[in-house]
Amino acid sequence: MIFIEKLTGATRKNHSLLCIGLDPDQERMPEKVSVAEFNRAIIEATSDLVCAYKLNFAFYEALGDDGPSILKQTRNFIPDDIPVIGDAKRGDIGNTAKAYAQAIFTYFDFDATTVNPYLGYDSIAPFIEYRDRGIFILCRTSNASAIDFQALNTEMGDNKYLPLFQVVAGKAGEWNIHGNIGLVVGATCPEELKIIREQHPDMPLLIPGIGAQGGDLALTVRYGVDRHGEKAIINSSRQVLYASKGKDFAQAARQAAIDLREQINYHVKETIS
């Protein structure tokens, strides 16, 4: 099954645009619970509430020698009908990018990944060749310093200028010959999100930045969904994962996910009604 079909299927089955980021921070986890056990419990408690899971490679690489094994274990805990995004933000010259793509899509078997477009098309092409997988290109990210580069005006000729994030989005549209490209656009920049959705009405958007980062959920939904109220993957990590540090952590995470999904769905109805 290709990524976009799996995403649509999970969205409709679970009535959800919520993506949970499985980013383990041992300082915030319950004591005497391993990372693998923690992740498995969270997945078992929430898999009927999400449209996807996202695993940020950094949190697993920080675990040392066991990190890759725990990453793969966690990916395998997730039910087959839920898409899994490997948040690796890879971007390198063609031959290296080919190896990164093989690792993420073949060894770890992720359904999608995030990539950095700074090196241009040949750094992304090896990922695009996996036609059944999703590629989310960093476009307008949620961090405060994103404006250092992403908001810079770029001359397009004929005295026309566009901010760099719009140029990236435009290139992503040109490269999307297999229909497997999406964009990463932060909830912390709703006006830019609105522009990107208007210019790319059918492209899936991975949207981090709600919850701890302060993104406005109502605006995120209003500007992020497509005309059917879909194709917005709204990611939350800390807000769900660390709802409790006690023995009830999984149940607390489930309740946090239910509450967030209900809030998202309320705004979806408001948007498309």
Q: What is the mean pLDDT of residues 174-202?
A: 97
Q: Is 89 a catalytic residue?
A: yes
Backbone angles phi, psi at 226, to 5 degrees: -85, -175
pTM above 0.95, yes or no: yes
Q: Is residue 211 pLDDT above 80, yes or no?
A: no
Q: Is residue 214 pLDDT above 90, yes or no?
A: no
Which one has a higher pLDDT value, 107 or 214?
A: 107
The pLDDT of residue 129 is 97
The pLDDT of residue 125 is 97
Q: What is the mean pLDDT of residues 244-272?
A: 97
Q: What is the DSSP letter of 30?
A: P
Nearest to 55 by CA among 86, 25, 76: 86
Q: Is residue 1 pLDDT above 90, yes or no?
A: no
Task: Using pLDDT thresholds of 50, 70 and 90, give the confidence band for residue 155.
Answer: confident
* Residue that is written with structure tokens 């026309």 in the block: 160
The pLDDT of residue 273 is 84
User: What CATH number does residue 228 fall under?
Assistant: 3.20.20.70
The pLDDT of residue 265 is 98
Q: Is residue 212 pLDDT above 90, yes or no?
A: no
**Which DSSP helix (H) or strand (E) runs through 94?**
helix 94-102
Task: Using pLDDT thresholds of 50, 70 and 90, give the confidence band for residue 26.
Answer: very high
Domain count, the chain: 1
User: What string of DSSP letters covers 165-232?
Assistant: HHHHHHHHHHH-TTS-EEEEE-TT-HHHHHHHHHH-TTS-EEE--BGGG-B-HHHHHHHHS-TTS-SE
Is the Cβ–Cβ distance between 44 and 38 less than 8 Å? Answer: no
Please tell me the least confidently modeled range out of 11-20, 36-45, 140-149, 204-213.
Answer: 204-213
pLDDT digits (tens, 9 = 90+) for 79-99: 999 999 999 999 999 899 999
The pLDDT of residue 158 is 80
Its domain, for residue 13, covers 3-272
Q: How far apart are CA 236 and CA 211, in angstroms?
A: 7
Nearest to 141 by CA among 165, 160, 172: 165
Task: Using pLDDT thresholds of 50, 70 and 90, give the confidence band for residue 139.
Answer: very high
The pLDDT of residue 156 is 83
The pLDDT of residue 216 is 94
The pLDDT of residue 102 is 98
Backbone angles phi, psi at 134, to 5 degrees: -95, 145
Residue of 6, 72, 89, 194 marked catalytic: 89
pLDDT digits (tens, 9 = 90+) for 234-252: 999 999 999 999 999 999 9
Q: How far apart are CA 100 and CA 86, in angstroms?
A: 11
